[in-house]
Amino acid sequence: KNEVEQSPQNLTAQEGEFITINCSYSVGISALHWLQQHPGGGIVSLFMLSSGKKKHGRLIATINIQEKHSSLHITASHPRDSAVYICAVRTYNTDKLIFGTGTRSQVFP
């Protein structure tokens, strides 16, 4: 069983729609990261969180430590949001990140 599971694996949306991507994990963590991977392959860090909620522009990330669950929301989605969104966790006593398989998101105009 994967330690980090994401859903959905793929999603499509019309421009302007609200998008939610979910991440569940089975290990105790010290932090959770949301990352964006563009078609060219580069990885950009969006959020790092260990509790509560963070917002940056149209992106919102939440985490529920008790339920071992995090969500990434994109409000007013735009075609430029098309990318793979990856959830990754850091467990205690380690710096390495354990990655989910990613959610491929396509936003159509």
Instruction: List interacting residues with another protein (CB under 8 A).
Output: 30-31, 33, 35, 40-45, 48, 50, 86, 88, 90, 94-102
- Taking the complex as a whole, the smallest distance from the CB of residue 18 to another protein amounts, in Å, to 26
- Taking the complex as a whole, the smallest distance from the CB of residue 44 to another protein amounts, in Å, to 7
What lies within 8 Å, CB to CB, of 74 at 6+ separation is 18, 19, 58, 59, 81, 105
Nearest 5 degrees, angle CA 19-CA 47-CA 40? 75
Contact 62, 53 (CB under 8 A): yes
Pick 41 or 109: Cβ nearer another protein = 41
Query: Which among 44, 40, 47, 55 has a CA at the least distance from the CA of 23?
Result: 47
- Taking the complex as a whole, the smallest distance from the CB of residue 40 to another protein amounts, in Å, to 8
Pick 66 or 93: Cβ nearer another protein = 93
- Taking the complex as a whole, the smallest distance from the CB of residue 24 to another protein amounts, in Å, to 15
Pick 60 or 97: Cβ nearer another protein = 97
